[in-house]
Amino acid sequence: MTSETKMAWAEVGNALEALSLSLKLHYEERAGTGVPKTPREVAAIVNGAIAAIGDAVDDQAVREQTTHVAEALEQALCETAQAIPANGRHSHGPGPYIGEVAEGVDFRRVLFTGEHSQLVVMTLLPGQDIGAETHQHDQIILLLKGQGECEADGIARRFTSHTALCVPAGTRHNVHNTGDEPMRLATVYAPPEHPAGTVHHTKADAQVA
């Protein structure tokens, strides 16, 4: 294989990786519901296209080779989509983050992680709670949408939109969605609590993480 051919295929790999990143960021910024599903769909299309080329060849060895390439490309695209943190580089910091916080469907998603603080958004379904917990650092919880109850040090209070719950380190606390609509929360940890780029699509995902 000539150096020119190797460079050409390397460029294909770089282009596919860039496409996966662009798609992930695009859908993350606009809805958050199609990630990483969309890169997977692109991967499936690539797989199908290459497999079709192989199907047109009589040589069985060549057909098997094209199938292998198609599967490898599909896997690479999916792995790339999984490896890119939510909202791309912003998840890791330390650069500034400007983005949507009021919309989303994931139970927990880390949007920004700096050296001393972290921004996390959460969505609680009707009847769902975060789960009673205690941290060894301060936490500020902002209720963006919905209504429910918050509890700190055993004292329960009504929790409504545009209300903040400030939780000092060592304080046992919880938030419960008692309304009929999803509850949207934004949380600031200082220092960071979760690994940069963490995404828990459901509460069950968070419990096994």
CATH number assigned to the domain comprising residue 96: 2.60.120.10
Which of 59, 84, 109 is a domain's end point?
Answer: 84
Kindly state the percentage of the chain with pLDDT values over 90.
39
Q: What domain range is 51 assigned to?
A: 3-84
Pair (41, 134) in one structural domain: no
Pair (96, 197) in one structural domain: yes
Collapse the DSSP code of 53 into the 3-class scheme (helix H, G, I; strand E, B; otherwise coil) and give the result: helix
* Eight-state DSSP code of residue 85: P
The tokens describing 150, both together, are 């918050």
Q: Does the structure show a pLDDT above 90 at 125?
A: yes
Total structural domains in the chain? Answer: 2
Q: Which amino acid is at 38?
A: T
163-167/199-200 β-pairing: unpaired
d(Cα 89, Cα 84) in Å, to the nearest integer? 8
Pair (130, 68) in one structural domain: no
Pair (111, 79) in one structural domain: no
- Mean pLDDT in residue range 16-43: 57
Confidence of residue 41 (pLDDT cuts 50, 70, 90): low
The maximal CA–CA distance of the chain, rounded, in angstroms, is 74
Q: What is the pTM of this model?
A: 0.57
Residue 142, classified by CB atoms within 10 Å of its CB into exposed (0-12), middle (13-18) or buried (19+), is middle
Pair (25, 56) in one structural domain: yes
Collapse the DSSP code of 180 into the 3-class scheme (helix H, G, I; strand E, B; otherwise coil) and give the result: coil
Collapse the DSSP code of 111 into the 3-class scheme (helix H, G, I; strand E, B; otherwise coil) and give the result: strand
94-119: pLDDT as tens digits: 567 778 888 888 999 998 888 889 99
User: Rounded to 5 degrees, what are φ and ψ at 36?
Assistant: -90, 25
Which of 84, 114, 138 is a domain's end point?
Answer: 84
Q: Does the structure show a pLDDT above 50 at 14?
A: yes
- Mean pLDDT in residue range 166-172: 95
- Mean pLDDT in residue range 117-142: 95
**Mean per-residue pLDDT over the chain, rounded:** 79
pLDDT of residue 77: 63
Pair (119, 184) in one structural domain: yes
Pair (18, 98) in one structural domain: no
